[in-house]
Chain A
């Protein structure tokens, strides 16, 4: 039986069938996988220049052949219209590839049907060549504020039987179809490409160019243009010559702009699904297809965002089993209707949208079910709030630094960083930042972050953010702090001073903290011994979790890190005078690199100005310095520079690298002997093929951590993202104190742990904002643990036996033997030394009671799988029991 709604949907879809189109179906012209995506949305409007920095950070994720930005929640004043017009009118932006075709476009698709409130070319710099690095002249863009003419709309409704549709939504549909017609006529049809619609939503806009995304800001003079939400995309088309930005992201739905990192394996299947609904892609990239699909689900089918996300990234396996039965019923229905069009393969979407019907702006990040693309989310709460989504953490840091430099209500460190778990029952693999009216009647707005299921993600409440300009405040406890620092530094053992500062942290205000740090910094000038101690104490404050009292942890961290930076930067320059143990080097000083004076000298490397890769990257400098005899390194100032520690070759025992700030991908990949400490979160592909040595991460670690590793001792304080230790062999011994998203130790082949093989200890713990350690809801949320592993073991802290057989694929749960405990205890003790996570008081303590290791830890070991062991030629061909049946 057809409901009224069904027929309305059909009427809408049928009306789209009337739009002229080319029947020939082209293949995707450019196979592009890669890109960098970034976006943020704030409770206050912020300037376009802040999308500039993160875009630059992601240059190496694009190739300068396509970049674009979108903004939502715009400033009416800057656009020269009233707020009422901005809210009610469609902001139609047309890129004129051929500047002379504007009269034709207007005559054909604007004047007859649209009421134009205001039309103008948007401002640009005078000559595109003034913008460095811009090789192709960006298109002229005309901006129209429009409504559909009454008669035109009435005719449209009449002809297509849309009387049951809300008139405003009918107008939306008209605008959408009108743009499809423009594109069809002036872009997608055979012949010259003359013009295309960049965007047509309300209170939002898209601009794109051939070049890096930040050049959009420069060329179209958006540095000072304010908007609530911004997204940017660096494109990496593999085809070389591109003369216009039609294929660049973001792509438009109606009121949503979408950028995409990844590549569909089923582009044709999704396109076919769209064609069945009379939707014909015109730009032939999978990003366009994505947003068309989103728009279909959203505007035509009227799905809520949760169901749209489910249709795009279905919940599968054990995660599906964990859903409430009512949800399972709905999801099953969604999946059975939409799985054919669910994008398959690696993808990550960032969507900026205006929802005029609910009067809010949103920034949405959705990852595919397998989490094959990198993604980081961050949230900062306070007087102003901001939510950020990026492919790499350093882009988030760059955004916050840029914002904080202008407005001290922003802090360079976010309150919370996390990854989404694709298609999961825990967070649904998607997070939505919604900016809506704060209800204070003053027009102010508030930001709320929710996951797919609508559960709110928040930062600790009632804490005071750091105010950067508040530097003149004097600490009331200055005298006491001075004494404590003097006494502490006098002692050989630093633990007293460290313990003191951690204890005091809850009570100190920012001024006291700042005083403490500055005393340490000034004492460090007196002697190397004090400097070493000062670095150690501040490093402990940077790494450890403790109660920060009424201060925000982000504010504390920023203060501590600034002091560390100050300590590092004040080291005597390489090649200069002085007899310090520390020697400073940066990009400019690189040619002055000399051999160290003594074995224990420390090379302090400021990575800031270095290229992220290539022959001149800082990682090469470390190799050179090592070859000259340097063994100790402090590296800081990172903004995503890659490959730290790589290339030193084997037999590097005794070398130590301490890494501060936003370190990059592939850190420690291939190391064989040396020791690396990452003081903060680490990024993707760490420890790939690592052979031996020690890696300590005082934070979370990104995707495909220790892929194909052969050995090494590794300690992670926080969580690992997806696919850690895949295909690891040999003897890697890893302690992860948090959890992993999924696919931990798939195809693990690390021998017998009792005979020198490898293992992973997964503690599944986390610190709360008071610095107290708690077990996470489950030590491992994923559906795939130790899949198809043939060797090694996982030791799980799972006192309540939360994990079930369904999460294994080939492994088996067994009890720990005394030999197992004897094997892992030394690693837990080292873990205790590094992170302060006590074996007795924390790990073996369950619900306040001390327990035996056997009732706390479980072991997952490999079972000998037929599929791995027997596969002889005959059994491959004829099945396992061919001999018997013969």
Chain B
């Protein structure tokens, strides 16, 4: 028991400030030349928007992203009103109009940067639980909680872990301590330090991350027990050794962002290092086939799974598939072929590297696929023996909770982890120097913008902030474990089925009482 507790010890959140000078905030504050540098604003502001060094008289540029904006008006420390010289003006940051998109809104990006920086939920009034897509998770809400269900327990006493091996087939049991693990990102698509940072975060969080199909860099070895080896259709960098290292092998059959297409890494990104890792030709685009050339049917698939199990008798097998209309059959087929995890990848995900024509047009939205698969597995009587993982546009803590309530055991997170590393979602991921933030880049200069520790801490911080939200939700629902939430779609409502007047009553997330 004590050992278990120790393992479950939550990682530390530490401040991991932005790598860039002026973090984008929701609001922008202008200080006019009439400022006399009296220092009152610095004294007043509890959020630290107006930093001031001791023995240094000149005012500094306001730390805008900490400013809570017009909500401060009623406070007696509202700097705009209190400034004796009326030197300060406050307005909405116009940059927000150019940032983000309907799914990942500017506010959601800002909020995740904040969570990644502090490990806390943002104080600033940002809508980070919902996007503006007009559908999907943005239209789903939790029911009004029953007041008497409320469980007054501490965050630390709420169990967020999920089981990956429920088959009882003699292979190791493995649980991860948050209902999320990292999606596959290949060596070559991302800066190595970002990838290793993800692995380091996975270890700290006691969860997993995934290699993607670009090979297994030596830098992962210290974190081997927390790194999934992906076996994708190109088989790039997959060696027997990498199957032996890993606790979980993920067969990537398809990706929700581009079903019917294999992975691809365009020529620009095939640097000498990447080519060496994949043992290919520098500068030549790498297209993975679709599907596996050795798997054209379910019995081929079983053989494929059996092969990996033969190589590593302790490995668990995850099968990642996209969400065609018969995804339920695919899931059941995977179960019978011996998979421990069925990972269904819906259509909302994908970075800029996935072609739009695929990303935006095919595969079933994940919020339809999850209950379909969950229900089908239940009818088959095998739901309790398989871990169902969802991914594809699961952006934030509430999306994860909704996915679980719809029937998943947990979620795979890709984009949010990149956002934690200050991705601005500009969508230029596929070209070598395209990533202004040095995340999805193997460029020599850009790739060095990130350190492993920074990446690891930012990701840890983000998940720890998410955890707070999950805890608040479970408390409201009177649950002690996230496992209790699985398949509780009765707790959800869809706004399309409500009267206009009712809709407003459903909050995007449990109310947080943020204490400063």
Measured CB to CB, the residues of A under 8 A from B are: 27-28, 30-36, 60-63, 236, 238-241, 261-263, 345-346, 372-373, 613-615, 617, 619-620, 642-643, 646-650, 665-666, 669-672, 684-685, 688-689, 691, 703-704, 707-708, 710-711, 723, 726-727, 729-731, 746-747, 749-752, 788, 790-791, 862, 864, 867-873, 876
Provided the pairs A34-B301, A689-B235 are in contact, do residues A373 and B306 lie with their beta carbons within 8 angstroms?
Answer: no
Q: Are B298 and A34 in contact (CB under 8 A)?
A: yes
Q: Are A872 and B268 in contact (CB under 8 A)?
A: yes
Provided the pairs A708-B238, A727-B288, A747-B287 are in contact, do residues A236 and B310 lie with their beta carbons within 8 angstroms?
Answer: no
Contact of B311 among A31, A647, A707 (CB under 8 A): A647
Contact of B329 among A63, A239, A666, A871 (CB under 8 A): A239
Contacts of A642 in B (CB 8 A): 303, 306-307, 310
Complex: A20 Cα to B312 Cα, angstroms? 56
Complex: A643 Cα to B240 Cα, angstroms? 12
- Any A CB within 8 A of the CB of B297: yes
Q: Are B281 and A751 in contact (CB under 8 A)?
A: yes
Complex: A727 Cα to B266 Cα, angstroms? 16
Q: Are A749 and B238 in contact (CB under 8 A)?
A: no
Contacts of B268 in A (CB 8 A): 871-872
Q: Are A372 and B241 in contact (CB under 8 A)?
A: no
Complex: A649 Cα to B245 Cα, angstroms? 10
Contact of A684 among B294, B355, B380 (CB under 8 A): B294
Q: Are A261 and B307 in contact (CB under 8 A)?
A: no
Q: Kindly provide the distance from the CB of A762 to the nearest chain B CB, expressed in whole angstroms.
A: 19
Q: A727-B289, A791-B281 are in contact. List 10 more A-B contacts (CB 8 A).
A: A30-B329, A34-B301, A60-B299, A240-B382, A345-B296, A372-B296, A647-B312, A707-B235, A729-B278, A872-B431
Q: Kindly provide the distance from the CB of A658 to the nearest chain B CB, expressed in whole angstroms.
A: 20
Q: Are A691 and B240 in contact (CB under 8 A)?
A: yes
Complex: A7 Cα to B244 Cα, angstroms? 67
Q: Are B330 and A31 in contact (CB under 8 A)?
A: yes
Interface size for B (C-beta < 8 A) is: 56
Contact of B239 among A35, A650, A747, A788 (CB under 8 A): A650
Closest to B329 in A: A31
- The 25 sampled A-B contact pairs (Cβ below 8 Å) are A32-B297, A34-B300, A241-B381, A372-B296, A613-B303, A613-B310, A615-B309, A617-B310, A643-B307, A647-B310, A647-B312, A649-B240, A649-B244, A650-B239, A670-B240, A685-B307, A707-B235, A723-B293, A726-B289, A727-B235, A729-B236, A749-B278, A790-B281, A869-B284, A872-B431
Q: Flag B264-296 by CB within 8 Å of A: 1 or 0 each.
A: 001110000000001111011111110001101
Q: Are A647 and B297 in contact (CB under 8 A)?
A: no
Contacts of A238 in B (CB 8 A): 298, 329-330, 332-333, 336
Q: Kindly provide the distance from the CB of A829 to the nearest chain B CB, expressed in whole angstroms.
A: 26
Complex: A32 Cα to B333 Cα, angstroms? 8
Q: Are A672 and B431 in contact (CB under 8 A)?
A: no
Q: Kindly provide the distance from the CB of B376 to the nearest chain A CB, expressed in whole angstroms.
A: 9
Q: Are A689 and B303 in contact (CB under 8 A)?
A: no
Most buried by A among B235, B268, B294: B294
Contacts of B333 in A (CB 8 A): 31, 238
Complex: A768 Cα to B266 Cα, angstroms? 47
Q: Are A346 and B296 in contact (CB under 8 A)?
A: yes
8 smallest beta-carbon distances between A and B, as pairs: A708-B235, A33-B297, A34-B299, A238-B333, A730-B279, A670-B240, A790-B284, A31-B329
Q: Are B240 and A689 in contact (CB under 8 A)?
A: yes
Complex: A666 Cα to B300 Cα, angstroms? 11
Contacts of B279 in A (CB 8 A): 710-711, 729-731, 749-751
Complex: A781 Cα to B382 Cα, angstroms? 48
- Any A CB within 8 A of the CB of B326: yes
Provided the pairs A34-B302, A868-B267 are in contact, do residues A708 and B296 lie with their beta carbons within 8 angstroms?
Answer: no
Measured CB to CB, the residues of B under 8 A from A are: 170, 233-236, 238-241, 243-244, 266-268, 278-281, 283-289, 293-294, 296-303, 306-307, 309-313, 326, 329-330, 332-333, 336, 355, 380-382, 428, 430-431, 434
Complex: A63 Cα to B336 Cα, angstroms? 9
Q: Are B234 and A708 in contact (CB under 8 A)?
A: yes
Complex: A867 Cα to B287 Cα, angstroms? 11
Provided the pairs A240-B336, A643-B310, A649-B240 are in contact, do residues A868 and B299 lie with their beta carbons within 8 angstroms?
Answer: no
Q: Kindly provide the distance from the CB of A673 to the nearest chain B CB, expressed in whole angstroms.
A: 10
Q: Are A236 and B299 in contact (CB under 8 A)?
A: yes
Contacts of A729 in B (CB 8 A): 236, 278-280
Provided the pairs A240-B381, A688-B235 are in contact, do residues A790 and B280 lie with their beta carbons within 8 angstroms?
Answer: yes
Provided the pairs A33-B298, A613-B306 are in contact, do residues A869 and B336 lie with their beta carbons within 8 angstroms?
Answer: no
Q: Kindly provide the distance from the CB of B289 to the nearest chain A CB, expressed in whole angstroms.
A: 6
Contacts of A872 in B (CB 8 A): 266, 268, 431
Q: Are A869 and B285 in contact (CB under 8 A)?
A: yes
Q: Are B329 and A689 in contact (CB under 8 A)?
A: no
Complex: A502 Cα to B382 Cα, angstroms? 59
Q: Kindly provide the distance from the CB of B425 to the nearest chain A CB, expressed in whole angstroms.
A: 15
Q: Kindly provide the distance from the CB of A763 to the nearest chain B CB, expressed in whole angstroms.
A: 24
Contacts of B309 in A (CB 8 A): 613-615
Q: Are A870 and B329 in contact (CB under 8 A)?
A: no
Contacts of A750 in B (CB 8 A): 279-280
